Structure 1
Amino acid sequence: MKKQVVLALAATFIMSVAGTALAAPVNHFNDVPANHWSYEAVTKLNQAGIVSGYGDGTFRGERTLTRYEMAQIVANALTKLEKATDEQKALIEKLSIEYSSELENLGVRMAAMEAKSDNVKFNGEYRIRYLGTHATDEDGVKTKDNVVDGRLRLWLTGKIDDRWQFKTRLQQISDLKTSDGHYGSSYLKAFDGDNRATYGNEGIDGTIRLNRVYVHGDLNWGTLEAGKIPLYTGNGFQYSGPIDGVAVGFGKELKVTGFFGRTLNANQISKGSYEIKNGKIITTAPEYGDNNLTGVNLDYNFTKNLNFKGAYMSANPVGSGEKFHKQKYWESALNYNLTPDLVLTGIYGGSNKDEDNRGYFGILTYKNCNTSKPGSYGMYLEYAHLEENALMDSGLTDWDLDKNQKGFYYEFNYCPAKNVKVNVNYTDWKAVKGSDKAKAYGGFVTYYF
């Protein structure tokens, strides 16, 4: 009987060895060589209190360990990853890679590796918009136009380390009125003093564009952004859009951000033209050039309810010949919380041009739709008075009134479901100088994901 047991055990051993040879897996019970780097790494983690041993809770530095025993120590360390320093996390990650097959056999979820897989995150939005415009020029000619478009934005955020992030945004806008996704014509916004049309959304061709790509770092003394970065001067009065450049911020109570870079389409070189055929406006697009923009943003909370934002900048036109010269622009804004839900904002700004160089806004904001809370809503009312030279040509990209315009803008927003926002708005303006006037109305639905 004993002989049969011995033979059975021998056969089992031979079959296991043969199977091992065929599969050629890592032998988890082989000793880790005494000079292997793992010992020094584990010793450092032990001395720091990140690991306390293996198996029975002891750390046996006096003898070599098997790979299985070493994997137990790494598994212990993975459970305390949140308490580790950056240097210790790097050691744990290196150990988890070395002993990955042993950890897998142990059934350990490799937190360090999973953190890596979650290192890049995607989110985005899709907006469908309608905008109609009825305008009357100084000669009494009435025109109307409308836009139906779709805008897709995709954000990609990658974590470089605990302080640095990489961010990029892809954007695509398509005309939903045409079958090929291209704008057949832009919508009319105004007529200038030379009886030429000014309008928006010209040049949208459905192309996917990379309009943000930059790194953001939180430093000991402040923040740094570099690349194609987003820039809001003050409350966004003079400029709100991308620049190819850098922004450096510092300060807590008084936040100061210096910026330098080249703006996109910030300087109008030619006004373009239009003609009316069979009651339809046929437009020729204006031409734009860039500005080298240098300036500073200020942000200060006087109290918990009163905030100041300001900006001062110098715009040096690029590639526009002798038509334009270096200009100075500035803005200041006060935001006051009348109640937790009601905010009153006043904005005043201008330029150093010789005349017609001032502008202001009065804004009342009540609540705002929160996409995580279905049923939430908000309302917005603004009055603007903007002289012809108050702004850079690319100013107020987030607003519905423009240069040489004064009037009202109304907005209501509502979230009918989670991650869905509905907005309806109406604009009524006339020229500060001249008799041009227009009414615009529209709305959009935005889906967030």
Structure 2
Amino acid sequence: MKKSIVSALTTALVVGAASTTFAAANPFSDVPSDHWAYDAVTTLAKDGVIEGYGDTTFKGNQNITRYEMAQMVAKAMAKQDVSAGDKALIEKLAAEFADELNNLGVRVAKLEKNADKVKWGGMLRYDYGSVRYDKAPVDLYINGQKTHDIGALKTRDNSNGYTFRLTPSAEINKNWKLKSRIDAYGDLTKDTAGTLGLKRIWAEGKYGNATYRFGRMPVGIDMDIMFDTQFSGAQAEFGNKALTTTINAGRFNLKSGNQYYLYGLAQNGKADDAANYQAIGFKGWLGKLNYGTAYHHLNSNVFTKMIGYGADNDDMNTWTAKGTYHFSKNIALQGNYGHNFGADDYNTSWSAVIGYKEFENFNATNAGQWGFSIAYRNIGQNVGPTPTYTSDAGTKGWALSLLGNIMPHTYTWLQYAQGKTLIGNENYKELFGRVEWQF
């Protein structure tokens, strides 16, 4: 259809309504002050209804279809804070193109709904670590490579790397979502390109107070003392804030465990990397107390080769208990305990931590947040394969942590730990630093 007065004003209303508002004086290079539509165009531009094509042109002489017109009217209808006069004109145009808008509305609604189904998040993290022993208590393995022998003299192992992570989530229907995590790791010391892999992927369905997950997902129980990692299988979680029950069943890859697990794998020399895994956990709130308890069972021939295990015992049977008491909004005291009934030695872990904004209340979204904690930990290496603590398993001692962020969506974490090894009672120190940018 040829451009008429109605279409010209429609174009003036809605073409390219996407970004910034132009000033009233000569907003478009191709609409001079003596043009018949100059007053309408400049007024609508001043009100923020139109912005033009981005190259300072309005292109008011080109022909457009009714469907294109309806698209522009739809954009104008979505505008906020439109003047009364402009609103009245938009309503007249909406009536003129009602049929096209009806069809367009269905298509736009579907497009927006589909776009909302996929959400992206992620982060870029830089980590520095330095672990120092007067005498290494066990063969040390870094990235699967043996670096020291048992009883080696003073050792110092430094790490200097980055992690880039994407966490897409897609809506399947009103009950089910597909979630995943993609990680890339790189060693800055060696200037490597890094490794990229699909770390986690699982389907998650919610029905009332119950959530079901299938795939490779976070363990979700005892994240700080046992498993800050993932397993493959199924998970059922149900309950409320007062009491939530979580049940896990599947397989756990022991290669993701601490250095003692890597030692057991190396000594085993068999393809038994993935242990059978079952667990049940309970957590909830009692007033100011956030509590949790759980039982974990793993089975693998690797355990028979680990230090502190009997040669005929291929089971891990660990019970844990945890409590965090909140004295105030920001100050809390946390205690953790774990015992592995399947191991003969190094089978107990416990920790006590007092912190300011160290637990639930540190928020990296806003600038100016900070927190700190002082902890004493005794980390038996046969209890937690992958605890959250950066302190190495098989040590006991003090740890001081400081959290802070000087700008939004960015935080830093500094930690210093000092103590003794459980094997040999040798001196142990750790320095750790992290900067993380979140999006």
Give the equivalent residue in structure 1 for 2:277.
293
Question: Offset of 1:119 from its aligned partner?
Answer: 1.2
1:164-243 map, 5 Å: 164-181=176-193, 206-243=194-231
| Structure richer in strand, relative to its length | 1
State the shift of 1:370 in Å: 2.1
Number of the residue aligned with 1:162: 174
CA drift at 1:346: 0.5
Deviations 1:162-182 (A, max 9, x none): 22111011001100011334x
Q: Report deviation, 1:382.
A: 1.6
| Contact 1:371 1:420 (C-alpha < 8 Å) held by counterparts | yes
> What do the CA deviations read for 1:42-75 (whole angstroms, capped 9, x no partner)?
xxxxxxxxxxxxxxxxxxxxxxxxxx9xx9xxx9
Matched, 1:313 2:304: no
| Matched residue SS, 1:210 | strand
- Taking the aligned partners of 1:234 and 1:425, their CA distance within structure 2 comes to 21
How far apart, CA to CA, are the structure 1 residues paired with 2:424 and 2:98? 75
Report deviation, 1:224. 0.3
What count of residue pairs does the alignment treat as equivalent?
Answer: 319
Q: Does 1:415 align with 2:408?
A: no
Distance 1:101 1:329 in 2: 66
Check 1:107–1:360 CA distance in 2 against 1; reply closer, same or farther (3 A cut).
closer
Q: Give the letter for the 2:351 counterpart.
A: F
Where 2:344 maps in the other structure, the secondary structure is coil
Q: Deviations over 1:421-440 (max 9, x none)?
A: 11211111211341322211
Which runs of no fewer than 5 residues in structure 1 stay unpaired? 1-11, 14-67, 80-98, 182-205, 274-284
Distance in 2, Cα, partners of 1:294 & 1:309: 17
Give the secondary-structure state (helix, strand or coil) at the position aligned to 2:405.
strand
Aligned residue in 2 for 1:403: 393
Q: Is the 8 A contact 2:323 2:336 kept in 1?
A: yes
Larger radius of gyration: 1
Distance 1:212 1:403, change over 3 A: same
Matched, 1:141 2:153: yes
Alpha-carbon RMSD: 3.4
Distance 2:202 2:392 in 1: 29
Mapped partners of 2:264, 2:202: distance in 1? 32
Letter in 1 for 2:321: S
TM-score relative to the length of structure 2: 0.65
Q: Tell me, yes or no, if the aligned pair for 1:238 and 1:329 is still in contact at 8 Å.
A: no
Per the alignment, residue 427 of structure 2 pairs with 437
Say if 2:264 and 2:303, in contact at 8 Å, map to a contact too. no
**Residue 118 of structure 1: SS of its match in structure 2?**
helix
Q: Deviations over 1:227-280 (max 9, x none)?
A: 00111323531222110111101122321111101112267364589xxxxxxx
- Residues 320, 306 of structure 1: alpha-carbon distance in 2 compared, 3 angstrom cutoff: closer
Task: Mark the CA change 1:105 to 1:152 in structure 2 (over 3 Å): closer, same or farther.
Answer: same
What whole-Å deviation, never above 9, does each CA across 1:69-97 have from its counterpart, x for those lacking one? xx9xxx9xxx9xxxxxxxxxxxxxxxxxx
Letter in 1 for 2:238: F
Q: What letter matches 2:219 in structure 1?
A: L
Q: Which residue of 1 aligns with 2:8?
A: none
CA deviation after TM superposition for structure 1 residue 347, in Å: 0.7
Q: Would the aligned equivalents of 2:421 and 2:428 in 1 still touch at CA under 8 Å?
A: no
Letter of the aligned partner of 2:279 in structure 1?
G
Distance in 1 (alpha carbons) for counterparts of 2:336 and 2:329: 20
Alignment CA distance shift 1:106-1:301 (3 Å) = closer
Q: For the Cα contact (< 8 Å) 2:162–2:188, is it kept in 1?
A: yes
